[in-house]
Amino acid sequence: MRYVNARDVLPEPLVRELQKVVQGGYLYVPKDEHSRKRWGEESGYREELEARNRRICEEHDSGMSVGKLAERYGLSVHAIRKIVYRKWGGGDSRGGASA
């Protein structure tokens, strides 16, 4: 994050008001909570993990062992078990981006 001079982006009356509170210091302006994105949403990695996890669940349901799935996907047996046995919202046991 780079610093921006308040005079370059704010109207002068607002700069004067801010100077009453923070004179010559730094002021952090957080993002609006409604505009924040969850981890992985910007890059698409969240969807990628969800698709991978669905494939893992489908392959497990088709009879592939947890050990084989761990080997195939380069994950630990523990991580595969978390994906396969995790309980998801709404009673569904599939989906999500864990592990």
Q: 1 pLDDT band (50/70/90 cuts)?
A: low
Cβ contact 46:63 at 8 Å: no
Q: Is the pLDDT of residue 59 over 50?
A: yes
Counted residue by residue, the chain has a size of 99
Give me the chain's average pLDDT, please.
Answer: 83
Which three-class secondary structure state does DSSP give residue 66? helix
Instruction: Give the pLDDT of residue 81.
Output: 93
**Which one has a higher pLDDT value, 33 or 43?**
43
Q: 68 pLDDT band (50/70/90 cuts)?
A: very high
**Whole-angstrom distance, CA of residue 99 vs CA of residue 53:** 9
Burial string for 26-44 (b: 16+ CB within 10 Å, else e) reads eeeeeeeeeeeeeeeeeee
Q: What is the pLDDT of residues 37-52, one digit of tens each?
A: 777 777 888 899 999 9
Cβ contact 95:88 at 8 Å: yes
Q: What is the pLDDT of residues 72-96, one digit of tens each?
A: 999 999 999 999 998 543 334 444 5
Instruction: Give the pLDDT of residue 11.
Output: 94
